[in-house]
Amino acid sequence: MNFTLKILGTASALPTVNRYPSAQVLDVRGRLFLIDCGEGAQMQMRRMGISYLKIENICISHIHGDHLFGIFGLLSTMSMLGRTAHLNIFAPRAFGPVLKFYMSYFGEGTGFEIEHHVLSSKSPEVVWESRSTEMLAFPLNHRIEAFGFIIREKMPMFNVRKEAIQKYGLTLAEIAALKRGEDVVRPAGDDSGPSFENGFKRFSGGPEPLVISREEAAYIPYTPRSYAYCSDTAPFPELADWVKGTTLLYHEATFPECYADVAERTHHSTARQAAECALKAGAGRLLIGHYSTRVSDLGIFLKEASAVFPDTMLAREGDEIEVPLEKH
């Protein structure tokens, strides 16, 4: 079950010869989420072997060019390739006129529906879900309306232990209850001895009700994985709580500490501030990016962040980061 992040771009504002503007693709069990769409995103997707037609959802954090300028080219290419599948775009209200402009001038012959889901939440809110996965959006603290995203696996059903089935002679209804995470309670009865169901001995409650606890009889097969995307934003108190326990946290780190005043003025974060958020959130790993072109040595960002949160990684173009499945 894939949970793989592919980095298309890591630059802030200005592209460089080595860095493209912000764009990422997250593959969750074969479903592809494009997160921001900076200039050159489709060229990077082609280099990394990512199919344009398999993108189901596009998430636009805010309407600044370095997170958006690639969208026209990508939509046009999807159309020329004969896409017919519905496409969701999750973006602030200000994206509406942008999409309208595209459709007015370049949308003729588009053979698929583009649905703009307007983001407006004041705290984390589910904006999309499937049977096994859900996506939440939440507001960030930037110069204009901006949103972050959490994409996570839903809690799986419990697995029932075979030894518990044999020990208690569990019925199909009782197994279903345990799989839902419920305890099984058998009412008190005359303790005349075991009966048999499905070939197993089934004990009644005896003089007292018999409680078969979920903890004894069932277990979660794996820990659900999650990814949080926080760009662009200045620090704010609620963010660490909103992304608490995230398996992999991406947090913009536009500036090192020597430019802290610029970060504050432009509503961005430093590498140290990103790491402080990860520490407070109890994140599994921290991924930083959105580097300012003022700084050429990315080692500065890593040094400052890892001093606070050791499990920090630098995002680099072409990286593929697999979040492994932790089975129980």
Going by the annotation, the residues of the binding site are 62, 64, 66-67, 142, 232, 290
- DSSP states of 19-53: -PBSEEEEEETTEEEEEEE-TTHHHHHHHTT--GG
**What is the rounded distance in angstroms from the CA atom of residue 92 to the CA atom of residue 296?**
32
Q: Which amino acid is at 282?
A: G
The one-character DSSP state at 67 is G
Please enumerate, by residue number, every residue annotated as part of a binding site for Zn(2+).
62, 64, 66-67, 142, 232, 290
Burial 250-262 (b: 16+ CB within 10 A, else e): bbbbbbbeebeee
**What is the rounded distance in angstroms from the CA atom of residue 194 to the CA atom of residue 276?**
58
> What does each C-alpha distance from 32 to 162, 243, 245, 249, 304 come to in angstroms?
36, 21, 23, 18, 32
β-partners of residue 285 are 248
**What is the rounded distance in angstroms from the CA atom of residue 180 to the CA atom of residue 173?**
11
Could you count the other beta carbons within 10 Å of the beta carbon of residue 7?
23
Which positions are catalytic?
66
Asked if residue 56 lies in contact with residue 115, where contact means CB atoms within 8 angstroms, the answer is: no
Asked if residue 202 lies in contact with residue 171, where contact means CB atoms within 8 angstroms, the answer is: yes
How is residue 99 written in tokens? 């999409």
β-partners of residue 11 are 21, 291
Which residues 6+ apart lie within 8 Å of 50 measured at CB?
Answer: 6, 25, 32
**What is the rounded distance in angstroms from the CA atom of residue 188 to the CA atom of residue 159?**
27
> What does each C-alpha distance from 307 to 275, 302, 311 come to in angstroms?
8, 8, 10
